């Protein structure tokens, strides 16, 4: 990257626009934590919410005022005065001042359609509303970003009027002009041409882009606006936002830095981008998207044998950047499509001495994977089960215990009473028999509890293993209740996480296979000393 390239500032709108997305919400403490995460990353502006709209946003501004941010500026968001309001008495304008932030963002109409059909006023009155609001806030010491709502739609319909709206805001002291693709319906080439025209009309002004993702082009539109001269990009972390979301800053930041040569966050922080993305997802209690560009688990995953072979010889063959640049890493997926090189590399990643994997063994292993895939197994996200399969192929797998049997009972004692699940299990370890029972929220939970009780005295290390995720997929739904079921389990012990898989027409049996692999994977690399029965 050319470090002399002009910097592009990043403006985050997650706490205002992002929380309008379905399922996206922060706790009060989470909002402050989020702001500090972005501050550390090097985001320039953090929009804290709609000033005066609700108690949550007001509390955030009050709390943020007591915090110290080294880099980011907190921004309060609001609208211009109404057509029938005096600027001195406009509640929204007062709320913006009461927020106490150095920067404020004010949106106003730039599309005559909205002026006429939404505000029910005249174009000249709308210009006066913009002038009064921006001028008043600027005269009270605020640095004002003016959001030209629906600017690109307005420009296409009446370019002259849209430009007059911007001119009015700039004349009254706006610190920046934000061009909004509010409906998310603009094409990238149109964004480029319009942004370039605005920059030519107002040389020296800070021009910003605010794109929505209704056509899945918000990132492309944002980057084209930068190419057109914009020097600020607005968006939300992980692309959260109303409808289909806002421009995804997690994709925009590395594209600006690595592709267009524009520094945009703190130096040295790009390597933390994946961590930040996952922290934010955790704060709003949403699962990260595994297919997310740059930071997703699958962003640098390779499955086809030719791709794996190529990337192992030279990563540039199938990776557009080094995964470590954004804090990610390469994943080689094992399946029937894998070649010998992929199998060997995956085995090496799992701690298996590849010297023990001869050509015939690898071929047999690939064939076994193909056969298992035909009946429903999938090893892409089941490294634990794959390692156990390799150990079995090498004929050195020693079962941790012998199962003598288990029984699962589900009982319901009334229409409105939750089901009761209970499991009993009988195992033998080193000649010693253990019979235990467990209760759970469901049959699999009860079986897992019973198995752990039975094995913990022999293998205390499994007490630290917990289930992180449990997924069920029906593989042949046309078979109805007799359908083949695949169960995938994610387990972790605080230092590592692994996946296992089971397949059966019986969901309990499929779950048992995955639970068994989960425990045996944990024990694989650990010594199994014989334990004496407690006195």
Q: 27-31, 108-112, 391-395, 523-527: lowest mean pLDDT where?
A: 523-527
The secondary structure of residue 259, as a DSSP letter, is: I
Burial 73-109 (b: 16+ CB within 10 A, else e): bbbbbbbbbeeebebeebebbebbbebebebbbbbbb
* 411-421 average pLDDT score: 86
Mean pLDDT of the chain: 89
Q: Which residue has the higher pLDDT, 501 or 309?
A: 501
* 461-472 average pLDDT score: 86
Residue 68: pLDDT band (50, 70, 90) is: very high
113 pLDDT above the threshold of 80: yes
Euclidean distance between CA atoms 319 and 485, whole angstroms: 34
Residue 3: pLDDT band (50, 70, 90) is: very low
Residues above pLDDT 90, as percent of the chain: 59
Two tokens at 92? Answer: 């929204």
318 pLDDT above the threshold of 90: no
How many angstroms separate the Cα of 373 from the Cα of each of 301, 308, 366, 377?
Answer: 19, 19, 11, 5
Residue 71: pLDDT band (50, 70, 90) is: very high
Burial 173-208 (b: 16+ CB within 10 A, else e): bbbbbbbbbbebebebebbbebbbebbeebeebbbb
Phi, psi of 310 (to 5 degrees): -65, -45
pLDDT of 525 reads 61
285 pLDDT above the threshold of 90: no
Instruction: State the Cα angle at 26 between 21 and 30, rounded to 5°.
Output: 145
* 145-170 average pLDDT score: 96
> Which of helix, strand or coil describes residue 368?
helix
pLDDT of 374 reads 81
Q: Which residue has the higher pLDDT, 84 or 303?
A: 84
466 pLDDT above the threshold of 90: no
User: Does the reported pTM lie above 0.85?
Assistant: no
485-531 confidence digits (pLDDT tens): 889 888 888 888 888 999 998 999 999 999 999 999 888 766 444 44
239 pLDDT above the threshold of 70: yes
10 pLDDT above the threshold of 50: yes
Q: Which residue has the higher pLDDT, 428 or 526?
A: 428
> Which of helix, strand or coil describes residue 376?
coil
Instruction: State the Cα angle at 79 between 222 and 118, rounded to 5°.
Output: 90
Helices (H), ranges, 315-416: 340-349, 359-374, 383-393
> Which of helix, strand or coil describes residue 438?
strand
* 356-366 average pLDDT score: 80
434 pLDDT above the threshold of 70: yes
42 pLDDT above the threshold of 50: yes
Two tokens at 74? Answer: 């907190």
**Domains within the chain, CATH numbers bracketed:** 9-266 (3.20.20.70), 301-393 (no CATH)
Q: Which residue has the higher pLDDT, 351 or 228?
A: 228
330-340 confidence digits (pLDDT tens): 877 666 566 67
pLDDT of 338 reads 63
The secondary structure of residue 257, as a DSSP letter, is: I
Euclidean distance between CA atoms 344 and 381, whole angstroms: 17
394 pLDDT above the threshold of 90: no
Q: Which residue has the higher pLDDT, 124 or 334?
A: 124
Ramachandran quadrant class, 418 (left: phi over 0; alpha: psi -120 to 50; beta: rest): beta
* 377-400 average pLDDT score: 83
Q: What is the chain's percent helix, strand, coil content, to nearest 5? A: 45, 20, 35
Euclidean distance between CA atoms 511 and 470, whole angstroms: 9
**23 CB-near residues (< 8 Å, 6+ apart):** 284, 286
Two tokens at 399? Answer: 């079962």
Q: Provide the β-strand partners of residue 211.
A: 181
What are the DSSP calls for 459-509, one per residue? -GGGGG-EEEEEEEEES-GGGGGG--EEEEEEEE-SS-EEEEEEEESSHHH
pLDDT of 482 reads 67
Residue 535: pLDDT band (50, 70, 90) is: very low
125 CB burial (10 A radius; 0-12, 13-18, 19+): middle
6 pLDDT above the threshold of 70: yes
231 pLDDT above the threshold of 50: yes
Residue 220: pLDDT band (50, 70, 90) is: very high
For residues 253 and 265, is the Cβ–Cβ distance under 8 A? yes
């Amino acid at each position: 990257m050319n470090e002399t390239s002009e910097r592009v500032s990043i403006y985050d709108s997650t706490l205002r626009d992002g929380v309008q997305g379905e399922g996206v919400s922060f706790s009060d403490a989470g909002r402050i934590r989020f702001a500090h995460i972005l501050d550390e990353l090097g985001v320039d502006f953090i929009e804290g919410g709609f000033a005066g709209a609700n108690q949550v946003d007001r509390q955030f501004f009050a709390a943020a005022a007591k915090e110290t941010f080294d880099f980011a500026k907190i921004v309060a968001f609001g609208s211009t005065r109404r057509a029938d309001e005096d600027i001195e008495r406009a509640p929204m304008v007062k709320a913006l001042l009461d927020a106490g932030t150095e920067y404020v963002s004010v949106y106003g109409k730039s599309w005559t359609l909205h002026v006429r059909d939404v505000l029910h006023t005249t174009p000249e009155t709308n210009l006066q509303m913009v002038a009064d609001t921006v001028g008043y806030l600027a005269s009270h010491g605020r640095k004002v970003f003016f959001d030209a709502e629906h600017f690109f739609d307005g420009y296409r319909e009446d370019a002259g009027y849209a430009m007059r709206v911007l001119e009015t805001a700039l004349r009254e002291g706006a610190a920046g002009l934000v061009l909004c693709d509010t409906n998310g319906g603009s094409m990238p080439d149109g964004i480029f041409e319009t942004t370039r025209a605005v920059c030519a009309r107002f040389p020296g002004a800070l021009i910003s882009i605010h794109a929505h993702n209704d056509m899945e082009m918000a990132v492309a539109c944002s980057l084209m606006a930068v190419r057109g001269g914009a020097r600020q990009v607005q968006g939300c972390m992980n692309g959260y936002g109303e409808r289909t979301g806002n421009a995804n800053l997690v994709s925009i930041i590395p594209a600006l830095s690595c592709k267009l040569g524009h520094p945009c966050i703190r130096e040295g922080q790009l390597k933390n981008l994946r961590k930040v993305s996952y922290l934010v997802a955790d704060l709003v209690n949403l699962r990260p998207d595994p297919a997310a560009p740059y930071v997703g688990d699958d962003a640098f995953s390779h499955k086809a044998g030719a791709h794996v072979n190529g990337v192992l010889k030279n990563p540039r063959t199938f990776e557009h950047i080094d995964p470590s640049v954004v804090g990610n890493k390469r994943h080689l997926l094992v399946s029937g499509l894998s070649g010998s090189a992929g199998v060997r590399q995956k085995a090496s990643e799992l701690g298996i001495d590849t010297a023990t994997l001869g050509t015939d063994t690898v071929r047999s292993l690939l064939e076994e994977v193909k056969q298992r895939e035909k009946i429903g197994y999938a090893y892409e996200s089941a490294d634990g089960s794959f390692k156990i399969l390799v150990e079995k192929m090498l004929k050195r797998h020693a079962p941790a215990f012998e199962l003598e049997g288990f029984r699962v009972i589900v009982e319901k004692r009334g229409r409105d009473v939750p089901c009761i699940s209970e499991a009993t299990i009988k195992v033998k370890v080193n000649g010693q028999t253990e019979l235990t029972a467990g209760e759970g929220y469901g049959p699999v939970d009860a079986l897992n509890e019973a198995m752990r009780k039975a094995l913990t005295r022999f293998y205390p290390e499994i007490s630290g293993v917990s289930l992180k995720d449990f997924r069920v997929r029906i593989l042949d739904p046309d078979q109805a209740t007799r359908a083949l079921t695949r169960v995938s389990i994610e387990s972790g012990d605080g230092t590592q996480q692994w996946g296992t898989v089971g397949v059966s027409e019986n969901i309990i049996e499929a779950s048992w296979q995955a639970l068994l692999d989960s425990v045996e994977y944990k024990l694989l690399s650990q010594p199994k000393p014989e334990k004496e029965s407690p006195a």
